[in-house]
């Protein structure tokens, strides 16, 4: 009897231990790109109101999300840069709204150095 209980307890402990790494979710594509567009536009306007970059969103091609201490959204998009040129960029938004300036935005645009900025939620 006691052994059975102990066995169950151990099984639960093992199951919990192995379940924890899965808190970091897999990468899944985002179906609703309008929602992503809103997120990108919101980030761009916050950065534009701050110290830049002063980009506008032109088009979102695709996006994926992953849960990692917040939500990591990767976006392939066209942006309009400060010289009014349309550019292909990979934008990563790491959203941790419980932190000060908890939104981290990384721009990887063709022919430009990678740029990482933070803004408030």
Ligand X SMILES: *[C@@H]1O[C@H](CO)[C@@H](O)[C@H](O)[C@H]1NC(C)=O
Sites of contact with ligand X (CB under 6 A): 76, 88-90, 108-110
Query: Smallest gap, in angstroms, from Cβ of residue 7 to ligand X?
Result: 47
CA–centroid distance for 81 within its chain: 21
Query: Smallest gap, in angstroms, from Cβ of residue 58 to ligand X?
Result: 14
Between 48 and 76, whose beta carbon lies closer to ligand X?
A: 76
Query: Smallest gap, in angstroms, from Cβ of residue 8 to ligand X?
Result: 45
Between 21 and 26, whose beta carbon lies closer to ligand X?
A: 26
**Alpha-carbon Rg of the chain, whole angstroms?**
20
**Distance (Å, rounded) from C-alpha 75 to C-alpha 28?**
12
Residue nearest to ligand X (CB): 90
Between 83 and 100, whose beta carbon lies closer to ligand X?
A: 83
β-strand partners of 98: none
**Distance (Å, rounded) from C-alpha 101 to C-alpha 94?**
11
Q: What are phi and psi of 113, to 5 degrees?
A: -65, 150
Query: Smallest gap, in angstroms, from Cβ of residue 4 to ligand X?
Result: 51
Between 76 and 81, whose beta carbon lies closer to ligand X?
A: 76
Give the Cβ contact number of residue 119 at 10 Å. Answer: 19
How many residues comprise the chain? 121
């Amino acid at each position: 009897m006691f052994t059975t209980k102990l066995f169950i307890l151990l099984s639960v402990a093992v199951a919990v231990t192995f379940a924890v790494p899965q808190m970091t979710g897999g990468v899944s594509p985002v179906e609703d790109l309008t929602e992503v567009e809103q997120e990108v536009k919101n980030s761009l306007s916050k950065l534009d109101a701050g110290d830049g970059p002063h980009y506008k969103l032109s088009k979102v091609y695709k996006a994926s999300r992953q849960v990692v201490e917040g939500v990591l959204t990767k976006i392939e998009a066209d942006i309009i840069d400060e010289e009014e040129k349309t550019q292909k960029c990979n934008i990563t938004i790491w959203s941790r709204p419980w932190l000060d300036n908890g939104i981290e935005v990384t721009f990887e645009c063709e022919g430009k150095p990678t740029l990482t900025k933070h803004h408030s939620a």
